[in-house]
Amino acid sequence: MTRKILILNGPNLNLLGTRQPEVYGGETLAGIEAACAGRGEALGVEVEFRQSNSEGELVDWIQQARGTCAALIINAGAYTHTSVAILDALLALDIPIYEVHLSNIHRREDFRHNSYVSKAAEGMICGFGGFGYLMALEAAARRFGTSSEG
């Protein structure tokens, strides 16, 4: 069985580091990617990390994960709150899905409280910055029996 974990990032996450640092922190997406690669190696899983500002491209990548990836970690950015197309693509996937947000979306504006992604996700981690991605990787690896906690 493939041990590849796909990590998808949605719109504006390419701006991390300079985008509203008071909300999202100073970490860059490249820094989060490097941390995920390191943790993936330690956990014995292959990590593929991508970002797109385009809803359609994210849908395409979710579809392509079918049969090629063992788990999906997704921070869909603002599409989290709007995209039935992304939800439908996620519902068509038969692998575990972990939702991540850097900020605590429940502490923010009302329109961020609804997540379409959550309706397809096994679990959601929010409010811990880039560390949330590493928590999601641990949760995914735990399913394969390779996490540090067993």
17: contact with ligand DQA by CB under 6 A: no
Q: Write down the catalytic residue from 79, 98, 101, 133.
A: 101
24 included as an active-site residue: yes
User: How many angstroms separate the most distant Cα atoms in the chain?
Assistant: 41
Binding residue for ligand DQA, selected from 51, 52, 75, 83, defined by CB under 6 A: 75
Considering only residues 96 to 125 of the shown chain, the ones binding ligand DQA according to CB under 6 A are: 101-103, 105, 112
Report if residue 14 touches ligand DQA, rule: CB under 6 A. no
Interface pick for ligand DQA out of 3, 4, 12, 42 (rule CB under 6 A): 12
Of the two residues 102 and 141, which places its CB atom closer to ligand DQA in the complex? 102
Tell me which stretch binds ligand DQA (CB under 6 A): 35-43, 74-82, 88-96, 137-145.
Answer: 74-82
Alpha carbon distance 101, 129 (integer Å): 7
**81 carries an active-site annotation:** no
Nearest to 149 by CA among 41, 128, 141: 141
CA 84 to chain centre: 17
With binding defined as CB under 6 A, does residue 51 bind ligand DQA? no
The helix (run of H) or strand (run of E) holding residue 48 is strand 46-51
Cβ-based neighbour number of residue 123 at 10 Å: 13
C-alpha 36/C-alpha 5 separation (Å) is 10
Please list the active-site residues: 24, 101
